[in-house]
Amino acid sequence: MAKETEFTDYVRSVIEALSLNPEEKEELREELEQHLRELMTHFIEQGQSKREAMKLAKEQFGDPEQLRPEFQKSHIPSWKQYLSKEILIWLICLVAASVGPSLLINAHYTLLFIAGPLMFLIICTLLYQGVIQRIRHPFVCITMFLLLYSTFTWDMIQYHSFKRFIEEFVTFRLGGEGLAAISIIHLLWGGILLRFFNKGWRALARVSYEYWAMFIIAFYTMKAELITSSAEGQVLLLNTVLLYVFFQLMIESQIVLKIKNKIKH
């Protein structure tokens, strides 16, 4: 639940009737409250009391009944945003799967480099959009993240030894594992945390859970050989999942569609 502020009721009256999904409403709520707080600060600096500054900020912002149609008209439909973003991520993953093996290990191109990632991307989309993203409560996300990460870390320590795990953690390298080296897995996670750093602990908890949930499901699916038993297929599985969830969390849907529309025009 979002933190209550002096503008909560006003902002709620603006966005509650909009046909947006919960994540979009939360983003719009944060944006509106930031603008209102900036206006309030401006009026306080001019000598107004806080109460009067709040009133003036809301008056300058506008009547909620008049604002709603404008926000609804200017908002890009959700399905277009997500479809454009999904297509872009699929293209990135397929290109990487096509050229990555030959660049990293001089492997000869085979149909597996396209057929495998295509199958993995279908699974990724169904899993991420249909299951992983459904869990959004911050305390559930924190609990799930800690459970998943500690399980993975313990498994790695048991397999490698603690000393080897630390060495793998601090050694940056690209090789036969591609992105699935311990150091690079954590480097990608660090990039995601930086991307959401200014959005608060709830956002950090959610993205950490989503990233590690996707990777660890793929990791133990690989270990159990549920989808493929070949070494090449297992590496492609892990790398495809890592790329997919990384770009899902790093790319904003609205930006993708806006760029697409600018290119068209």
| Model confidence pLDDT, tens digit, residues 8-61 | 888 888 777 666 666 667 777 777 888 888 888 888 988 888 888 888 888 887
Q: In the block, which residue shows the tokens 């869990």? A: 135
Low-confidence ranges of the chain (pLDDT < 50): 1-3, 265
* Domain ranges, ordered by start, for the chain: 8-74, 78-255
Predicted confidence at residue 213, as pLDDT, reads 96
pLDDT of residue 95: 87
> Is-contact 179 239, C-beta < 8 A?
yes
Instruction: Check residue 260 and give its pLDDT.
Output: 54
Q: What is the pTM of this model?
A: 0.71
Query: According to the model, what pLDDT value does residue 35 have?
Result: 83
The DSSP secondary structure of 165-217, one letter per residue, reads HHHHHH----STTGGGSHHHHHHHHHHHHHHTGGG-HHHHHHHHHHHHHHHHH
Q: What is the pLDDT of residues 215-234, one digit of tens each?
A: 999 999 988 888 888 877 88
Helix (H) or strand (E) holding 21: none
The pLDDT value given to residue 2:
44
